[in-house]
C-alpha cells in the first residue's frame, strides 16, 4: 500500500470516501510515523494515539453508513495552546503543569464535530512567544528540512513550530495553529507549508490560551492551499462566547479555489523592500509578481508608509496585553505552585519558577509600559500608530485587491543563531506583524527554495473577511510554483536503524 501519511488532506478525504482505505488505517499510519519521528523532531508534546483510534473507529462507522461529515476520519495535530477536554494543555509552559481543561476550544470543537481525528498536542514557543520554537518548556522542535549537504539542525519557525514541522514531516494531514505576530505564516514559510491567519474575529478565540487578545487569531497550517481552505471552512465560526467573534457567514473556501486571478489587482508595497533584504528573497518576490502577472492579474506599486513602525508598536501592544492575560497564573487556581511565606511570595515564587525567560521578560516590558506615568508614552502611542497602520491598508484597498510581499526576511536558521540578539529574533516578524496590527487576513504560500535548498514563502494580504480571494490567489502561485517537500525523510532513518520501524 502507498504511504498514507504522504497524502494531502483532500486526497485522504477522497480516498476515505472511495473506501480505498479506512480512517483507522489512515490514523494508524500517522501514529506509526509519530512513533518513528517524534524522538528526533519533538513536534508533539503529547501524542494521543488511543484517543485518535477511538475517533477513527467512530468515523469508520459513519463512513460505512455514507454519513461522512466534512473532515470525517482525517487525522490532525492540535497546537498545545488549544484547550482539550480532559487532555493535558500546557501552552508549553511549566506554569500550567498538568492542567487538564474541563472544556474544548471552540475551534477544536468545530473540527471534531466535523469528524476530524486528533493525533495529539503539538509543540510551540512558550505561550506562543517566539519565532523559532526555542522557548518551549518541552525543548525545541527540529525542522524536517536541512540545508543542502549539511546536517545542521534548523528551526521550523515559531511559535507554531510543532504544527509546521508535523505537517512538513507527514506526522499529520494538517494542524491547528495560532498567529499573534506571524506565528502561523512564518513557520509555514520556513517549512514549505501553507498557513493562513484569517481576519481578526473570523475564528473564535474561546478556549485558546491567550497571549495578546487584540492580535491572537487561530488558523490552519496545511500541505496545500486546498487543504488550508478545507481546514479554515471548518475552523471558522461565529461564537457568542468570544465577544470579538464577528457574525458573518463563513463561505466554503474550497469552492472557487481554482477560478484564477484574471483581472485581480495585486499591490506591491515599496516599504517592504527593507534594508538588508537578501537578494534571493527579492528574487522570490519578483517570481511571485511574474506568476500572478502571467495568470492575468495586474501589478500595482503601492505605499504603506507606516510599515516600519508596526514591529516596535507590536512590541508595546503585545507585551502589555500579555502581562494582563498572564496575571491569571498565580499558583492558586491551576498549574504550578511554589509556596512562600505569605500569599504574595507564593505568587512571586510560582511565577519565577513557572515562566521561562522570554515570557518573564515580556511580562516585565508589558508591566512597565502600562505602569503609572508611562501609559500615554507607550501604550496609547502604540495604539495610535496602529490606527495609522490600518489607515495605510484602508487607502491601499481603493487601488488593489490583494497585497503581495515575502513572508520572512530570510530562510530557516539554525538553533541558537538568533537567540543571542532579541531584536534579530523579533525581526523575523517584520513582514507579518502589520497584518495582525490591522486585523487583516494573511496567507503564506511556498514559492521557491533558497540557495541552501530550504523553502521560502510569499505572503498575500487581503481585505477584511476576504479570505476567499487570498485562497484563489495562493492557489495560482501554488499551481505555477509547485509544492515543496523535504527531499528525504532523514528523520525516520534513525528510528529504522534502531529497529523500531
Partner 1 sequence: MQVDEATVRRIARLARIKITDSEAQSLQKELSGILDWVKQLDEVDTKSVEPMTRVVAQDLERRPDEVTDGEIAATVVANAPVTEDNFFVVPKVVE
Q: Which residues are catalytic?
A: 79, 159, 183
List CB contacts of 99: < 8 A, sequence separation 6 or more. Answer: 88, 89, 90, 334, 335
The answer to whether residue 385 forms part of the interface with partner 1 (CB under 8 A) is yes
CB 45, min distance to partner 1, A:
18
Q: Compute the least distance from the CB of residue 342 to partner 1, in Å.
A: 5
- Binding of partner 1 at residue 341 (CB under 8 A)? yes
Q: Is 54 in the site for partner 1 (CB under 8 A)?
A: no
Are the CB atoms for 115 and 382 separated by under 8 Å? no
Query: C-alpha cell of 359?
Result: 515570557
Interface with partner 1 by CB under 8 A: which range of 115-123, 259-267, 296-304, 352-360?
352-360
User: 381 is written with which cell numbers?
Assistant: 502611542
Residue list 443-462, contact with partner 1 (CB under 8 A):
none
To the nearest whole angstrom, how small is the minimum distance from the Cβ of residue 160 to partner 1? 21
Cβ-based neighbours of 115, under 8 Å, separated by 6 or more: 59, 62, 68, 69, 70, 71, 72, 73, 74
For residue 391, how many other CB atoms are within 10 A of its CB? 14
The residues that bridge with 179 in the sheet, in sequence order, are 217
| Residue 346 engages partner 1 in binding (rule: CB under 8 A) | yes
Stretch that binds partner 1, among 46-54, 154-162, 296-304, 365-373 (CB under 8 A): 365-373
Residue matched to cell numbers 504574595: 344
Q: Among residue numbers 404 through 423, which ones bind partner 1 (CB under 8 A)?
A: 422-423
Count residues contacting partner 1 (CB under 8 A)?
66
Q: Nearest 5°: CA angle at 194, between 223 and 104?
A: 85
Which residues partner with 424 through β-bridges? none
Of 348 and 452, which CB lies nearer to partner 1 in the complex structure? 348
| Residue 127 lies near partner 1 (rule: CB under 8 A) | no
Asked if 343 interacts with partner 1 (CB under 8 A), we say: yes
For residue 264, the Cα-to-chain-centroid distance in whole angstroms is 27
Instruction: Considering only the stretches 172-180, 329-337, 405-413, 454-462, report the one whose residues sit in contact with partner 1 under the rule CB under 8 A.
Output: 329-337
Half-sphere exposure of 107 (CA within 13 A, CB side): 33
Q: Does 488 bind partner 1 (CB under 8 A)?
A: no
Q: Assess 328 for contact with partner 1 (CB under 8 A).
A: no
Residues 214, 170 contacting (CB under 8 angstroms):
no
What are the cell numbers at 188?
Answer: 509555514
Residue 8 engages partner 1 in binding (rule: CB under 8 A): no
Report CA-CA distances (Å) from 206 to 122, 214, 317: 18, 13, 20
Residue 298 as a binder of partner 1 (CB under 8 A): the answer is no
Q: Residue 180, interface with partner 1 (CB under 8 A)?
A: no
Determine contact, residues 61/23, Cβ cutoff 8 Å: no
C-alpha span between 426 and 497 (Å, rounded): 39
Q: Which of 3, 17, 100, 290 binds partner 1 (CB under 8 A)?
A: 100
Identity of the residue, 194 or 232, whose beta carbon is nearer to partner 1 in the bound complex: 232
Task: Tell the smallest beta-carbon distance from residue 130 to partner 1 (Å).
Answer: 15
**Candidate list 32, 99, 289, 300; residue touching partner 1; CB under 8 A:** 99
Least Å distance, CB 236 to partner 1, is 14
Residue closer to partner 1 by CB (options 100, 293) is 100
Site for partner 1 in 246-275 (CB under 8 A): 246-247
Residue from 68, 316, 318, 400 binding partner 1 (CB under 8 A):
316
For the bound state, the minimum distance from the C-beta of residue 245 to partner 1, rounded and expressed in Å, comes to 9
Considering the complex, what minimum distance in angstroms separates the CB of residue 310 from partner 1? 10
Grid coordinates representing 346 are 507564593
Question: Measured from the CB atom, is 34 or 313 closer to partner 1?
Answer: 313
418-492-482-462 Cα dihedral, nearest 10 degrees: -50
What DSSP string runs through 82-115?
A: B-BTTB---TT-GGGTT---SS--HHHHHHHHTT
Shortest Å distance, C-beta 84 to partner 1: 13
Q: Which of these segments, 73-81, 219-227, 336-344, 467-475, binds partner 1 (CB under 8 A)?
A: 336-344
Query: Of the ranges 63-71, 106-114, 359-367, 450-458, which one interacts with partner 1 (CB under 8 A)?
Result: 359-367
Query: Looking at the DSSP assignment, which residues form a beta bridge with residue 491?
Result: none
Q: Give me the least distance between CB of 334 and partner 1, in Å please.
A: 4
Indicate which single residue of 75, 77, 335, 356 sits in contact with partner 1 (rule: CB under 8 A): 335
d(CA 141, CA 200): 28
Nearest to 158 by CA among 309, 30, 310, 138: 138
Write out the DSSP string of 325-386.
HGGG-SSSSSS-----SSHHHHHHHHHHHHS-HHHHHHHHHHHHHHSTTTTIIIIIHHHHHH
In terms of CB distance, is 254 or 358 closer to partner 1? 358
d(CA 446, CA 482): 8
Judged by the rule CB under 8 A, the positions of this chain that interact with partner 1 are 99-100, 102, 199-201, 214, 240, 243-244, 246-247, 306, 309, 312-313, 315-316, 323, 327, 330-337, 339-349, 351-352, 355, 360-361, 363-365, 367-368, 371, 378, 380-388, 390, 422-423, 438-439, 464
Amino acid at each position: 500500500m502507498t504511504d498514507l501519511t504522504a497524502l494531502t488532506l483532500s486526497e485522504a478525504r477522497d480516498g476515505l470516501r472511495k473506501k480505498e482505505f479506512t480512517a483507522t488505517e489512515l490514523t494508524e499510519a500517522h501514529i506509526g510515523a509519530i512513533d518513528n519521528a517524534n524522538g528526533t523532531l519533538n513536534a508533539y508534546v503529547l501524542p494521543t494515539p488511543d484517543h485518535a483510534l477511538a475517533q477513527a473507529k467512530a468515523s469508520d462507522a459513519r463512513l460505512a453508513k455514507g454519513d461522512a461529515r466534512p473532515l470525517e476520519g482525517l487525522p490532525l495535530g492540535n497546537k498545545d495552546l488549544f484547550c482539550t477536554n480532559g487532555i493535558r494543555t500546557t501552552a508549553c509552559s511549566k506554569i500550567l503543569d498538568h492542567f487538564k481543561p474541563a472544556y474544548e476550544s471552540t475551534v477544536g470543537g468545530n473540527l471534531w464535530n466535523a469528524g476530524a481525528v486528533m493525533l495529539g498536542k503539538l509543540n510551540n514557543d512558550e505561550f506562543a512567544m517566539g519565532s523559532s520554537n526555542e522557548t518551549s518548556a518541552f525543548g525545541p522542535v527540529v525542522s524536517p528540512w536541512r540545508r543542502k549537504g549539511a546536517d545542521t539542525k534548523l528551526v521550523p519557525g515559531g511559535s507554531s513550530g510543532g504544527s509546521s514541522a508535523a505537517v512538513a514531516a507527514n506526522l499529520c494531514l494538517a494542524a491547528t495553529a495560532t498567529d499573534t505576530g506571524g506565528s502561523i505564516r512564518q513557520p509555514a514559510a520556513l517549512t514549505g507549508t501553507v498557513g493562513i491567519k484569517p481576519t481578526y474575529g473570523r475564528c473564535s478565540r474561546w478556549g485558546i490560551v491567550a497571549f495578546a487578545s487584540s492580535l491572537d487569531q487561530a488558523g490552519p497550517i496545511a500541505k496545500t492551499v486546498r487543504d488550508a481552505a478545507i481546514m479554515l471552512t471548518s475552523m471558522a465560526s461565529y461564537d457568542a462566547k468570544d465577544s470579538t467573534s464577528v457574525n458573518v457567514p463563513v463561505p466554503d473556501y474550497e469552492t472557487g479555489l481554482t477560478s484564477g486571478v484574471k483581472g485581480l489587482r495585486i499591490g506591491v508595497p515599496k516599504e517592504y523592500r527593507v534594508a538588508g533584504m537578501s537578494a534571493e528573497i527579492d528574487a522570490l518576490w519578483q517570481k511571485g509578481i511574474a506568476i500572478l502577472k502571467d495568470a492575468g492579474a495586474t501589478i500595482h506599486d503601492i505605499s504603506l508608509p507606516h510599515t516600519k513602525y508596526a514591529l516596535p508598536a507590536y512590541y508595546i501592544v503585545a507585551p502589555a496585553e500579555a502581562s494582563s492575560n498572564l496575571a491569571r497564573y498565580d499558583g492558586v487556581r491551576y498549574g504550578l505552585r511554589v509556596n512562600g511565606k505569605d500569599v504574595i511570595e507564593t505568587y512571586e515564587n510560582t511565577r519565577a519558577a513557572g515562566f521561562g525567560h522570554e515570557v518573564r521578560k515580556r511580562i516585565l516590558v508589558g508591566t512597565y509600559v502600562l505602569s503609572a506615568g508611562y501609559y500615554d508614552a507607550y501604550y496609547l502611542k502604540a495604539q495610535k500608530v496602529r490606527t495609522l497602520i490600518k489607515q495605510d491598508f484602508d487607502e491601499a484597498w481603493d487601488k488593489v485587491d490583494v497585497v503581495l510581499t515575502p513572508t520572512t526576511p530570510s530562510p530557516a536558521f539554525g538553533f541558537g543563531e538568533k537567540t543571542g540578539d532579541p531584536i534579530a529574533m523579533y525581526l523575523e516578524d517584520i513582514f507579518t506583524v502589520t497584518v495582525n496590527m490591522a486585523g487583516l487576513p494573511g496567507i503564506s504560500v511556498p514559492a521557491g527554495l533558497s540557495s541552501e535548498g530550504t523553502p521560502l514563502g510569499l505572503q498575500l494580504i487581503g481585505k477584511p473577511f476576504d479570505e476567499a480571494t487570498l485562497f484563489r490567489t495562493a492557489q495560482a502561485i501554488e499551481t505555477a510554483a509547485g509544492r515543496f517537500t523535504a527531499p528525504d525523510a532523514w528523520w525516520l532513518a534513525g528510528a529504522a536503524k534502531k529497529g523500531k520501524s
